[in-house]
Homo-oligomer: A and B are copies of this chain.
């Protein structure tokens, strides 16, 4: 395999291919070509082949890729043979929405704990997931062997929780708080920000109007 540096955009596309392969697998399709994978994920056949060639050669010339084989390889590559245990910090609107989100377990991410500071929210289950006090963060993260923490706290609290989660051995952080995060121990962080995506659309729309080459 001999993997060196894989770009973020490649990884993102691998996820898209995987999604499609899972759908094809359910439908019982056995073979798929790079062109078909490309069409279904808004990219090009050459990119599909180059993306995959980073990790080995999975297809048969003249035929395409065996759906189930490639699905398994991609799950392997993305680290999804492992069953991920996830915690959500912040049981506000977004946090709670995530707790009830059916897509996550289907895709291999089980939310097993939530945390909040508000005593009205803690000590009970939401969608079957226990909500603990943030005081118990380190203990529970360790006991529940949490791999990834999703931050859905107010921005002001995000930095502190990120540090504590990283120190407690969490392996990755997904943050809904816009602010930059620093952790003592290096932990991969990704951000999701609805307003930022809307700003991106606003830019595209605005520059389209002004007749730019987009």
Interface of A toward B, CB cutoff 8 Å? 3-6, 8, 11-12, 14-16, 18-19, 40-42, 77-80, 82, 84, 86, 93-94, 96-98, 100-101, 103-104, 107-109, 147-148, 150, 171-174, 178, 180, 188, 190, 192-208, 212-214
Distance from A131 Cβ to chain B, minimum over Cβ atoms (Å):
16
Report yes or no: B213 in contact with A4, Cβ–Cβ below 8 A. Answer: yes
The interface residues of chain B lying within 8 Å CB-to-CB of A214 are 5
Q: How many copies does the complex hold?
A: 2
The interface residues of chain B lying within 8 Å CB-to-CB of A190 are 197, 200-201
Given A42-B180, A195-B103, A213-B4, also A79-B203 (CB < 8 A): yes
Given A188-B208, A212-B3, also A200-B11 (CB < 8 A): yes
Q: Which of B8, B205, B208 contacts A200 (CB 8 A)?
A: B8
The interface residues of chain B lying within 8 Å CB-to-CB of A197 are 174, 190, 192
Report yes or no: A206 in contact with B93, Cβ–Cβ below 8 A. Answer: no
List of 10 A-B pairs having minimum Cβ-Cβ separation, nearest first: A79-B206, A172-B201, A97-B97, A93-B97, A107-B195, A79-B202, A188-B204, A15-B199, A171-B205, A15-B196
Distance from A19 Cβ to chain B, minimum over Cβ atoms (Å):
6
Q: Once bound together, how far apart are the Cα atoms of A97 and B42, in whole Å?
A: 28
Distance from A186 Cβ to chain B, minimum over Cβ atoms (Å):
9
The interface residues of chain B lying within 8 Å CB-to-CB of A5 are 213-214
The interface residues of chain B lying within 8 Å CB-to-CB of A84 are 198, 202
